[in-house]
Structure 1
Amino acid sequence: MAQKTVLIVYAHQSPGSFNAAARDAAVEVLEDQGHKVLVSDLYAMNFSANSTRDDIVGELKNPELFQYGEETMHAWMEGRLSQDIIDEQRKINEAELIIFQFPLYWFSFPAIMKGWLDRVLTQGFAFSLQKMYNHGIFKEKKAMLSFSTGATQTMFRPDGINGDMNVALWPLQNGILHFCGFQVLAPQIFWCPAHSPAAVRAAMLVGWRARLRGLLAEKPLTFAPCELFDLSFQGGFLLRPEVREECSSQRHGITTGHHLGKPLPPNNQTDAEPENDQSASED
């Protein structure tokens, strides 16, 4: 396999954490395969999670009403973003794959990682209304989530107290990664390592190492393409009527987000090749 560049965006406070071990495993396996690995250790970098005026160098376009998205878009176009944002955007441009390694906090990213996404994925650089989803700017790149949970796997089943993990992952994988065009690989979920025996944690890392050896050749998750929608403000960016009619006779909705009042597609957010049996969504 030709050498690729992989960026690991890592967020954990402790070098002795399970997430640190997962990061180190990824670096080791990928480098052993001849790939270049970049690591953004957000806590070690003291990366700012705050989206502020300080992210723009020079004068504002509209100083009377500060609009962060508009101002950072213009600053990106004119090379006036703060240096820490520029440095991370350069890493994204270089990488063919981005792995986000983190503990799941409140069904989402840690604040420092969410701040990285808010600040680094600026409009123009990462997305536009003309370049989004399967037509997105990063459609030639891959990205994935690799994270630990504090809850057990059964708690994230459709009949578990936390609800279906496919639903929890939808805004992260579709609303952020796929929106920017990334081909999203199935997530690597480490279920409850903090409350698992040492042998179980070791087995999790063995499985992760095995997956890493073929990671770059994996098939990405499937999302609804833009072509299914009326991409105009007049049409409301809604599903085309003929598509909705075609879906009316099908058992499942199109995706977790476009369920159309039907059962969720099995493993829509957790498995690139879902089973036909709806019970498979428990995995």
Structure 2
Amino acid sequence: MNAKKVLVVSAHPEPLSLNAVLADFAVGHLRAAGHEVRVSDLYAMKWKATVDADDYDEGSGAGSRLRVMAASQEATLGGRLTPDVAAEQEKVRWADAVVLQFPLWWFSAPAILKGWFDRVFTAGFAYGPAVPPPYSEGVLAGRRALVSVTAGARETSFSDRGIHGEMADVLYPIQHGLFWFTGMAPLPPFAVCGANELSEERFAAVREAYAARLDGLFTDEAVPFRSLVGGDYDHDMRLLPGVEEPGVGGFGLHRRPGPALVPVPGA
């Protein structure tokens, strides 16, 4: 395999946590395979999670209304983003793949990681009229993306009949709404459930399974989301009638027909 460039974004406040261990393992494994790796450890960086006028030099002008999309696009295209945001955008541009490592908190990413999404993926960089259309070979096309997530709940609770819903659906806002929206090709997520009581034996199995997923970062089949410009949607961005297979509904409507791709468990 040719050497690639990988950005690992880690979001857990405890340096001795399972998430920190998995992030370090990913970095070491990818580097041992010959890839170049850069790391954004958001808690160690003390990443500012909230979007505000200071991000776009909009602090002046008392009483003026902050229009986030317009302000972020103007600041992006004008080279006026804050240094921390500009640095993270440069890392994303540099990367051939992005790996996110985080615990599942309240069925979503930790606030600090959501703040990384909010502040880094600005209009004019990741979306908006100045870049190619979303849900297609967009501005960040050619990059791959992998979510590695831990959850305290048991694996069966995230199954097809599990009370929490399927993990692929829980992570749909990130997989489809962030990665695929911006043109990145998301792989099925890697999920370690029952993470609060992980035996040494099971951790060894998790590490082996994660190594296999990292080895396939640039070769495994991505989630087959439909393209907005592929003829499946009308002008109002609604899926055309009859395009889906019989019985398919919900988020599944927006995946092309074929074998189901499910999260690969950690053990």
Structure 1 and Structure 2 fold alike (TM over 0.5): yes
1:141 to 137, 140, 143: 143
Identity %, equivalent residues: 35
In the alignment, is the contact (CA less than 8 A) between 2:53 and 2:59 conserved in 1? no
- What are the within-5 Å matches in structure 2 for residues 5-84 of structure 1? 5-57=5-57, 64-84=64-84
The code of the aligned residue for 1:168 comes to V
Deviation at 1:39, TM superposition (A): 0.3
**Structure 1: which 5+ runs fail to align?**
272-282
The code of the aligned residue for 1:77 comes to L
Query: What is the Cα-based RMSD across aligned positions, in Å?
Result: 2.5
**Structure 2: which 5+ runs fail to align?**
none
- What are the within-5 Å matches in structure 2 for residues 173-212 of structure 1? 173-212=175-214
Helix, strand or coil at the partner of 2:146 = strand
Deviations 1:5-25 (A, max 9, x none): 100010011111111111111
In the alignment, is the contact (CA less than 8 A) between 1:253 and 1:265 conserved in 2? no
C-alpha distance in 1 between matches for 2:180 and 2:162? 27
2:221 to 219, 222, 230: 219
C-alpha distance in 2 between matches for 1:200 and 1:137? 40
Structure with the higher helix share, 1 or 2: 1
Comparing 250-259 with 18-27, which one deviates more in the overlay? 250-259
The code of the aligned residue for 2:136 comes to N
- What does residue 153 of structure 1 align with? 155
The code of the aligned residue for 1:47 comes to W
Q: TM-score under structure 1 normalisation?
A: 0.84
- What are the within-5 Å matches in structure 2 for residues 82-101 of structure 1? 82-101=82-101
Helix, strand or coil at the partner of 2:242 = helix
Comparing 88-97 with 166-175, which one deviates more in the overlay? 166-175
The structure-2 alpha-carbon separation of the partners of 1:145 and 1:86, relative to structure 1 and needing over 3 Å to count, comes to: same
- What does residue 230 of structure 1 align with? 234
- What does residue 174 of structure 2 align with? 172
The code of the aligned residue for 1:216 comes to F
In the alignment, is the contact (CA less than 8 A) between 1:145 and 1:188 conserved in 2? yes
The code of the aligned residue for 2:164 comes to N
The structure-2 alpha-carbon separation of the partners of 1:255 and 1:38, relative to structure 1 and needing over 3 Å to count, comes to: farther
In the alignment, is the contact (CA less than 8 A) between 2:168 and 2:189 conserved in 1? no
- What does residue 256 of structure 1 align with? 251
Helix, strand or coil at the partner of 1:116 = helix
